[in-house]
Amino acid sequence: MRKKDKNIVVGMSGGVDSSVAAYLLKDQGYKITGLFMKNWQSEPGEVCTSEIDFEDASKVCDELDIQLHKANFSDEYWERVFTFFLSEHAKGRTPNPDILCNREIKFKAFIDYAKQIGATHIATGHYASLTKEKDDVYLSRSKDINKDQTYFLHEVKSKDLKNCIFPLSKINKTEVRNIASDIGLHISTKKDSVGICFVGERNLKNFLSRFIELTPGEIIDNEGNILGEHHGSALYTIGQRQGLNIGGVKNKSELPWYVYKKDINLNTVYVCQGEDNDLLLNTGLELDSMKFINQHSKFRSNQIMCKVQVRHRQKAVDCSLDLSTSTVRFNEKIRAIAPGQSAVFYDQSDKICIGGGIISKAIN
């Protein structure tokens, strides 16, 4: 397809990445339209970050001379993403809403809306790459490994990636900010968004307490001693150090304390000392299920030798994946694996993302 025949709708978040992605495509001669997604309905008295982001996106589109549409997907976000986020917390697990948000909103609701306004392709500011082979497309790591976001994209199917463009796939974050500065975009120094996808940075205790019941309970060490009280076991995750409020404990060393286990039924949080405590180290994990990006993946077999990554920016380690039991065994131990998070798999070159699944259990 010729450039003039491509109508690319770019997801504009009001941040530097999507803004530079739009600029790069327009600079290459493509027909560009922007689309801002409103996905969270703020309550009275809340700071409405989406309105701030929309103002930034509008100004960027004015600076780039491109049209901007605005779509409200707050109902879809609540039904497809946020209710699952809450239910997982209520079960004592640690969900990753960014992954579901990509699958259900940015690469489903967004694509559907973009097609309605005439898009032949969509583009986003994700740090990821696409590798085309014959009639299929594979999700691959970006050049900037530190910013690589394939971990968050592993539930997006190849059919939804075929008409997608990642303009930042071959440049790093420093270059992106330099480009934004060089062309005079007002958001060139704007901080990256953090916190819950589309909801923003929140105090988790105050935020979750609006939706699920949080009951204080005991914090117990690995010898059965009660060390303190937590604010609700749903707030804590495996490997967590901050927010435990455990001071100096008599007859214990000065090593920091970490969560190594939770019991949601007893409402108890268990802690141990030392970052490399054996109680925090895992030799494998079990998955709820395995989802492949490519329907007919060339990597699919009963036993897969590959690499696994259990959190964003963590080093991927060699492993064996047994699809018959949804069990993963590591070649080296991985620290602090949290049920509810995702295990994402890559080929042995650590470049192509195969897919992944939600962790149901860590094996120690």
Amino acid, res. 35: L
Q: What is the value of pTM for the model shown?
A: 0.92
Establish if 74 belongs to a structural domain.
yes
197 included as an active-site residue = yes
Q: Which domain holds residue 50?
A: 3-125+167-182
Task: Write out the chain's pLDDT in tens, 364 residues.
Answer: 666 678 999 999 999 999 999 999 999 999 999 999 998 766 555 555 778 899 999 999 999 999 999 999 999 999 999 999 999 999 999 999 999 999 999 999 999 999 999 999 999 999 999 999 888 999 999 999 999 999 999 999 999 999 999 999 999 999 999 999 999 999 999 988 765 554 555 577 788 888 888 999 999 999 999 999 999 999 999 999 988 888 777 767 788 999 999 999 999 999 999 999 999 999 999 999 899 999 888 888 889 999 999 999 899 999 999 999 999 999 999 999 999 999 999 999 999 999 999 999 999 8
Q: What is the DSSP letter of 224?
A: S
> Cα 286–82–148 angle (5° rounding)?
60
Decide: 304 and 326 in contact? Cβ < 8 Å.
no
Q: E strand or H helix at 2, and its extent?
A: none
> Which residues are CB-neighbours of 20 under 8 A, at least 6 positions away?
125, 167, 168, 176, 179, 180, 185
Helix axes 173-182, 16-27, angle to 10 degrees: 70
What are the backbone dihedrals phi and psi of residue 155, each rounded to the nearest 5 degrees, phi first? -95, 0
Domain count of the fold of the chain: 3
306 included as an active-site residue = no
Does 28 share its domain with 171? yes
Mean pLDDT for the chain? 91
The active-site residue out of 61, 164, 197, 353 is 197
- Domain final residue, candidates 182, 205, 227: 182
> Residue 111 maps to which CATH number?
3.40.50.620
> Which residues are CB-neighbours of 357 under 8 A, at least 6 positions away?
287, 288, 289, 290, 291, 326, 342, 343
The active-site residue out of 61, 101, 319, 353 is 101
Cα of first residue to Cα of last residue in the chain, in angstroms, is 52
